[in-house]
Every structure is written in C-alpha cells, then in structure tokens.
Amino acid sequence: MSTIFDCRCSEKVGGLFPELDVPAQGVERLIDAAHVRTQPLRLPDLSEPQVARHYTKLSKLNFGVDDGFYPLGSCTMKYNPKLNEAMAVLPGFSGLHPRSDVSRSQGALQLMFELTGFLRGIAGMADVSLQPVAGAHGELAGMFLFKKYFQVRGEHERKRILLPDTAHGTNPASAALAGFSVTEVASDETGRIDLAALDEALDDTVAGIMLTVPNTLGIFESDILQVTEKVHAAGGLCYFDGANLNSYMGKTRPGDMGADVFHFNLHKTMSTPHGGGGPGSGPIAVSDALVDYLPVPRVRLENEQYKLDWNCPHSIGSVHSFYGNFLVAVRAFAYILQLGDVGLREVSENAVLNANYLQQRLKKTYALPYDGLCKHEFVLSGKGLAEGISTLDIAKRLIDYGVHPPTIYFPLTVKEAIMIEPTETESKATLDRFAEIMEIVAREAKENPQLLHDAPVRASVRRLDQTQAAKNPVLKVPLDGE
C-alpha cells in the first residue's frame, strides 16, 4: 500500500487559508532568526482530490462494524448509532473552547452533569467523574484513588493489588503505573476466582483487588459478594473493570456487588465508536469512601447554574487536560437518553441471549473449556480442532469469509483462546451465518488445512511478516535524503 508521501506533489497548492488581511511585517522582523526553522519541511503539497482519493482508498482497506459482523470479545463492537455522530458535531459542542466562561458553557456543563447522574445510577454508586478518556485511563485514575485513600489513612504498607489470572493486560499495567505490585490469584475449575486462593493472598499489605465482572471468560462471579466482602474485611478496596458492563446494564449494578471504583467504557457499552483505536471515554464511578478524591474539576449545580468546582482539597488532581472526552460523552448521553431504562435492560438481555445462543451452537464444533451459562461473551479453544491448526489459522480464515475474527489468545488461561462477543445489535440470522462459517472453517481445518494456513487470501494483504518488522523496525516513511 502506498502512502500519502508517495503521491505526486501538485504544482498548484494553497487556497485553504486566506491572504493576510493585516499589514505584513515578515517573520524575520517578528521573531529572532534563531527560532526560525532552518530545514524546510518535507510534507507533500497535494491537491484536494488526491487527498480525498487516498483516504477513501485507505478506508476501504478497513473493516468496521458497518461492514460486517465484528465479534471481538471484550471489545463490545456494537452498532454505533448515527444520531450520536450528528449530536457530537453540533457547533455548540464542537466549537466550544474548554476555557470558555461557564456562563457560555451551561449546555455542555448540564450535559456532563446529567450524564454523570445517569452513570451514577447505572453503576449504583455514590459519584462519577467523566475525566478519564479510556478504560485503561479509568483504571489508572482508580488506582490513584486507591493510593490516595490509603495515603490519607496512613496505611502506607498497602502496596499490593490482587488480580485474577483472567484479567485484561491493562489491569496489571495500570496498577504498576500507579506504583502497586501485582499478585495473581488463580481461578478455580469453573473459571471463577478461587476463594481459598483469595484468602491466602489477602493480608494487610493488600490495597485491593481488580475484578472484571463478568470475567473475561464471560462467566459471572457468582461468589462476587463473598469476594468483595473478604477484600473489604481485610481492609482492601474493590476495583471493577467495566469492560463487560454490556452483560448486565439495566439489570444489576456494580455498586450492589461491593465495588469501590467502577470504570465505564463509553466506547463499548454506550455505543460510541472505537475510531480504529480511540478516542474513547472511561468515566469512573466511586463508592462513598472515595468521592472526595475524584479528579478535579467537578461539575456542580448551584442556584440553577452549572459550575466547575476546582476547590476539592482532597482530590488526586487532574488526569487529563480538561474535562475528559466531552464529545464522546455527548454521544453516550444521546444513547442513554434514547434507550431509557427499558432500552438499557434490553441491551444486556439481548447481548446475553445472543452470546448463549451462539455458544450453544458452536460448542458442538469447537472445544468450550468452561461450559455453562455465559453472559455477553464466551471463550472457545482452537486446540485440538485439527492437527497443526492454530487459533491464528482459524482467525485468518474467517477473514476470507467476510467476518472480523474474534479476540484470540486471550484470556491467557485458555489455550488457543477464541473469545466471542456478538453484542445485542446482531440478528439471529447474522449469528446463524457466523456459526455456519465457523463450522465450515472447522471442516476445512480437517479436510483441507492448507486453506487455513494460506488464509487470508481475500484481504488486501496476506499474512504479514511480523518477525522482520520487529527485528528491523521501519516506523516511518523515509523522506528525501534519508
């Protein structure tokens, strides 16, 4: 694939910006020559049609939710309503400067205030901050809250975070970034946290536990109350990774399970788009004990005026430039407003129904290491399907059939994992077709494995040599003279 730097430069460029309408003084008169660029920039000067064609071509090499089924486990690739996009580009939102006087940003503050209320209610917790801009960022902010909590209490020895072995990679990374060490807690044979292992790990050096509910196997921690009670009894706090909220939103709440911090992924559960890797939004909800430590500023309503409250002396401070990803919050607000309580419940009910339906059918063809009711996702194993066939082969073959492969090789507790999350926005017909494709691929794996080894053959490129890419990294276009 050629890059924009391969496009031939156009002779006639310009026209984006107007001529200067004030008397020109000249760069050399306005700033010291020492500050002025000495090497001319080497950006291609292109006509607009060249730019439009190039990026339209690139877009066609992508696969989005609008292109087809995207059962990427743990990522909740549901349909992104078009209304959300229309609301986010309203000039009253998109053109608003973050340093605007609050008298000019009452609508934005109201939206943030009301969304905060919605999320508080959905989580069943004491308060919410919209500031974190991604799930991992919410985790980090949550770990900062843990740290603050124990610092205020003088419990400086609480330096350990417990993590089930099924945890997302961001969990240990976030805990470590906040200065905690990580202790893994094994799962039991049903894929749930082993309570005995938890007991063993708990002591007065534990700051808390990071849980994903339901866990990354798609299994609900039925002992969740015992888990959180044990951690609380040991003086620790409970962090809930909200990546899997789509399985119980509108039916039950993390606050009722003993969560102290819960992060939302608005770009998963609340239908805002992923954008090829962001921007997302990762608001955090907290229990009473942590409210005072939430990031600044907070949005308040006083005398019918919304204001930004910077005067929160116990706050951890800020974790982002301003108020988080506001335009993502606009999308999530529109979504929740449209759904209402009934819609929120229907989302999780249909997400769980779709997952169980698919699990029921696919377990006849693929190994299902943890059999039983699943929530919004389930994990198959590609192991033992056919001699010499890996999960990677299966995934690549799915590309040839026009579906996005599931998440693979995660969670780490399942060998050759295939993690499938269909979401509620897919029809039974789509699920049936996907199941059929999975069955065809399984058959091919046994009868004509070369088809899988060679896959994909219908994408714009075939399997890429990632070993060479890692050994001799080429990380930018070599420009003239390089």
CA distance 149 to 160: 14
Residue in 321, 388, 447, 450 binding another protein, rule: CB under 8 A = 321
Give strand pairing partners of 284.
Answer: 129, 263
d(CA 349, CA 344): 9
Is 232 near another protein (CB under 8 A)?
no
- Could you tell me the smallest distance in angstroms from the CB atom of residue 447 to another protein? 22
Using CB under 8 A as the binding rule, the residues of this chain from 64 to 93 that contact another protein are 64-67, 70, 72, 75, 77-81, 83, 85-87, 89-93
Task: Give the orientation angle of helix 428-447 with respect to helix 326-362, to 10 degrees.
Answer: 60
Q: Does 448 bind another protein (CB under 8 A)?
A: no
Segment lying near another protein (by CB under 8 A), choices 199-207, 283-291, 439-447, 473-481: 473-481
Taking CB under 8 A as the binding criterion, the range among 152-160, 193-201, 286-294, 457-465 that sits at the site for another protein is 457-465
Helix (H, G, I), strand (E, B) or coil at 67: coil
Cis, peptide link before residue 214, omega less than 30° from 0: yes
Nearer to another protein, 202 or 219 (CB): 219
Query: Under the criterion CB under 8 A, does residue 318 sit at the interface with another protein?
Result: yes
Judged by CB under 8 A, the residue of 153, 204, 275, 288 near another protein is 275
Site for another protein in 6-65 (CB under 8 A): 9, 13-14, 16-18, 20-25, 27, 30-32, 34-46, 48, 51-52, 54-56, 58-65
* Unique residue bearing structure tokens 């890692």: 470
CB of 88 to another protein, least distance (A): 8
Q: How far is CA 68 from CA 72, 88, 244, 277, 405, in A?
A: 12, 24, 22, 18, 11
User: Looking only at residues 168 through 207 of this chain, which bind another protein when binding is defined by CB under 8 A?
Assistant: 169-170, 172-179, 181-182
The Cα–Cα gap between 322 and 140 comes to 17
Contact status: 388 vs another protein (CB under 8 A) = no
Longest dimension (CA), the chain: 78
> Is residue 278 at the binding interface for another protein, with CB under 8 A as the rule?
yes
Does residue 166 belong to the site contacting another protein (CB under 8 A)?
no
Q: Which of 335, 333, 420 is nearest to 382 (CA)?
A: 420
Rg (CA), the chain: 25
Neighbours of 311 (CB within 10 A): 9
Residue 477 interacts with another protein (CB under 8 A)?
Answer: yes
Nearest by Cα to 298 from 183, 128, 451: 128
**Count of residues in contact with another protein, rule CB under 8 A:** 205
> What would the two tokens of residue 174 be?
């976030």
Q: 329 to 358, contacts with another protein by CB under 8 A?
A: 330, 333-334, 336-344, 346-347, 349-350, 352-354, 356-357
Closest to 318 in 3D by CA, of 328, 329, 331, 309: 309
Residue among 121, 235, 369, 449 that touches another protein (CB under 8 A): 121
Binding test (CB under 8 A) with another protein, winner from 142, 250, 283, 382? 250
x-marked contacts with another protein along 392-421 as a string, rule CB under 8 A: ---xx--x----xx-x-xx-x--x------
Angle, helices 170-177/135-153, rounded to nearest 10 degrees: 40
CB of 243 to another protein, least distance (A): 10
